[in-house]
Amino acid sequence: MGIARFTPLARNDLKAIRDFIALDKPKAASQYMNILKQNCQRLADFPLMGVQRPEYHGLYKFPVDDYLIFYRPFQAGIEVIRVRDIKPLLNPDQNEK
């Protein structure tokens, strides 16, 4: 079984996601955190499941619903670098409003 380590930025991302979901659905926030963490564990077990792209500086990405998990494989698993919402990445004009 691989190890999923989380950077401080990734931990902050997960907390922000949980807090945002909890505004409307507190119970769903905990359940969704479990889904994201289960996917991270699955990636730790199978690190090449994601897509590696040169523009990500060697990082891999893996989609989970509206989020992208950015990670770096290492010998014993993965290091999760960030967990980002896809919508602002796809619609940068939305960020300016």
Number of domains making up the chain? 1
Q: Is residue 65 part of a domain?
A: yes
Q: Is residue 97 part of a domain?
A: no
Q: Is residue 96 part of a domain?
A: no
pLDDT of residue 94: 56
Q: Is residue 11 part of a domain?
A: yes
Q: Is residue 51 part of a domain?
A: yes
Model pLDDT for residues 15-59, shown as the tens digit of each residue: 999 999 999 999 999 999 999 999 999 999 999 999 998 888 889
Q: Would you say how long the chain is, in residues?
A: 97
Range of the domain at 23: 3-91
Average pLDDT of the chain, as a whole number: 91
Q: Is residue 48 part of a domain?
A: yes
Task: Check which CATH number belongs to the domain holding 48 and give it.
Answer: 3.30.2310.20
